[in-house]
Structure 1
């Protein structure tokens, strides 16, 4: 290797080392970019009516504040009241479910029941893992500036990025060699499209499952319908794993009422997700994604494990946008520009 190549290699290695040590701050910056990108689409919508960007930014922020305020005013108070009761009932329902599973296994093979770990032993094995993931994810808040100042920093970064996104975009592109800047500009556009399509799909899925859950649980006269419906929608934001987790609270609470209700709710939620999948593929996907490649389920699951181990609980919840962006970069940079052009001499 030439001297210039060695210098370039050392510079890249040092940059990677620095980025690794500030990875939690980069996650905070990525969160600000996601929020700013979401608000920027609202700004662009208002600009279509020949409104100046400054006023469009103000309108977008005011609209977001109005939606959040209305949400906290109308929905959060009853949800918060029911949530505390929900956290009391769900563990009882889960205990009942575990008893039923153990009984079913004992009927199949009495010796197999002894091989299963007890609830206490299972919690003891799981606790260090959960503490490690939670500690990694939340350390970005309490090891930098504290939770209030970190949230204030997140808000300031979002507003700065939203005020003049093109300047930050050009600055980021200039970090790359001149011959590759056009490709980076294209990759950023693809990331924007992928995020817009993916997040729109998941938000529609969250709203639909919340509404269907509320209607279904109300018809079955289940307790805490609002809290269960809202929690189901929130968990749905987590791909794959969230869908499985969203089944647990309603089924566990229904099990405290009667066994047939828990089976009915389980079947009902399966039907709900089938309806949502059909609606996504037939109606939403052609309009939102526009024939672009969606995330493969295996890639999504692996990305959740990877980002949770890297960033902790925040990486787990941000796995979807991180996976969407990562897929574009891997496909456009690694596959197309490196692996597809790698020919043996």
Structure 2
């Protein structure tokens, strides 16, 4: 290799190393981009109504802060009041489930019961297996940006970045586009537009899904007279943000508590949650979302694992928008512009 090639290779390695070291900052910036992108559509709507952009930005940020204040002031207090009791009841319900399973195993085969581990042994084995992954996620997620003292500073930085991007997004957009060769800048602009559309679709879908799932879960739990319905419905709504495993995680508290009340209710809860998920995804989603973001379930799951390992806890929650953006770039750049036009040398 020539000296210039070696120099280029070294610069690429150094650049990748720098990106790796500041990955948490890049994720924070990506979060600001996602929020600013969603608020920008609201600002554009204000502009269509004859309001100046500067005032539209202030109104959009004001609406966001008011929504957060309403959520914290009205919904959080009763949720926080029920949460400690929920935390106490769930382990009791899980222990009751294990007891029922052991009773069933003893009826099927008495010798099988002796080979099954006890509750304490199960917890100990599960803790030992998950501890390395938890430590790794904690080490990634609780870095300088996510320690207890830095969380308020991170939120302020996130709000400041969002406001700056929202106030005048074009210079940032054009600056990013100019990093690419002149002949490819139109394509990059088209890719950014496509990412913008997909992120908007994802955000509308996930907010709609969280609200619908929380409301329907609350109504279902009230009908079945399950205690702490509000706390469990709020948990279900929040966990609906997580694709694939969110539904499974949201089932744990109501099923555990139902086992303490009446075991038959746990079966109805499972059926109801699956029905709610199917109604939301197959009937309500198409009414709200015209352009659907399509990602294979296995790709979504692998993306969750990958971005959790790379970015930590926040990467787990932002895995889907990250995967959506990566999909657009891979499809438009790698597949269409490289692999599809790659011809074998004659």
Cα contact 2:102–2:113 (8 A) shared by 1: no
Are the counterparts in 2 of residues 36 and 159 from structure 1 also a CA contact under 8 Å? yes
8 A contact 2:141–2:311 mirrored in 1: yes
> For this pair of structures, how many residues does the alignment match?
341
Q: How does 1:195-344 map to 2 (within 5 A)?
A: 195-280=199-284, 282-285=286-289, 287=290, 289=291, 293-344=293-344
Q: Give the deviation of 1:296 after TM superposition.
A: 1.4
Corresponding residue for 2:11?
A: 11
TM alignment of 1:9-158, pairs within 5 A: 9-108=9-108, 110-111=111-112, 114=115, 118-142=122-146, 146-158=150-162
My pick for the range that moved more, 66-75 or 111-120, is 111-120
Cα distance between partner residues in 2 of 1:113 and 1:342: 62
Deviation at 1:4, TM superposition (A): 5.8
Match in the other structure for 2:168: 164
Contact persistence 2:42–2:60 (CA under 8 A) = yes
- How many Å separate the matches in 2 of 1:336 and 1:231? 42
Following superposition, the deviation at residue 270 of structure 1 comes to: 1.5
How far apart are the structure 2 equivalents of 1:169 and 1:19? 20
Matched residues in 2 for 1:125 and 1:187: separation?
41
State the TM-score, normalizing by the size of structure 2: 0.92
Structure 1 residue 50, shift from structure 2 partner: 1.6
Structure 2 Cα separation of the partners of residues 131 and 103 of structure 1? 35
Deviation at 1:278, TM superposition (A): 1.8
Aligned CA-pair RMSD: 2.1
Structure 2 distance, partners of 1:108, 1:277, is: 39
TM-aligned CA distance change 1:193 to 1:142, over 3 Å: closer
2-structure distance, mates of 1:128, 1:12: 31
* Inter-partner Cα distance in structure 1 for 2:114 and 2:318: 38
Deviation at 1:114, TM superposition (A): 2.4
Q: Relative to structure 1, is the Cα distance of residues 46 and 270 closer, same or farther in structure 2, using a 3 angstrom cutoff?
A: same
CA contact (8 A) 1:105 1:113 kept: no
Gaps of 5+ in 1: none
Deviations 1:208-240 (A, max 9, x none): 111101111111121111110010010010000
Structure 2: runs of 5 or more not aligned: none
Rate the CA distance shift 1:143–1:65 in 2: closer, same or farther, 3 A.
closer
Instruction: Give the C-alpha shift of residue 148 in structure 1.
Output: 2.3
Flag the 1:176–1:121 CA change in 2: closer, same or farther, 3 A.
same
TM norm structure 1: 0.92
Distance 1:99 1:172 in 2: 59
Question: For 2:242, what is the secondary structure of its paired residue?
Answer: coil
SS of corresponding position for 1:327:
helix
Provide the C-alpha distance between the structure 2 equivalents of 1:253 and 1:170, rounded to a whole number of angstroms.
54
Partner deviation per Cα, 1:110-159 (whole Å, 9 max, x = no partner): 44862656222222322232122122112142579822222221111111
Decide whether aligned partners of structure 1 residues 341 and 122 sit closer, same or farther in structure 2, where only a CA change above 3 A counts. same
Deviations for 1:73-101, whole angstroms, at most 9, x for unmatched residues? 21111111011111111111122223333
CA deviation after TM superposition for structure 1 residue 6, in Å: 5.4
- Distance change >3 Å, CA 335–CA 84, structure 1 → 2: same
1:115–1:43 Cα change, 3 Å = same
Residue in structure 2 matching 1:189, options 193, 204, 217: 193
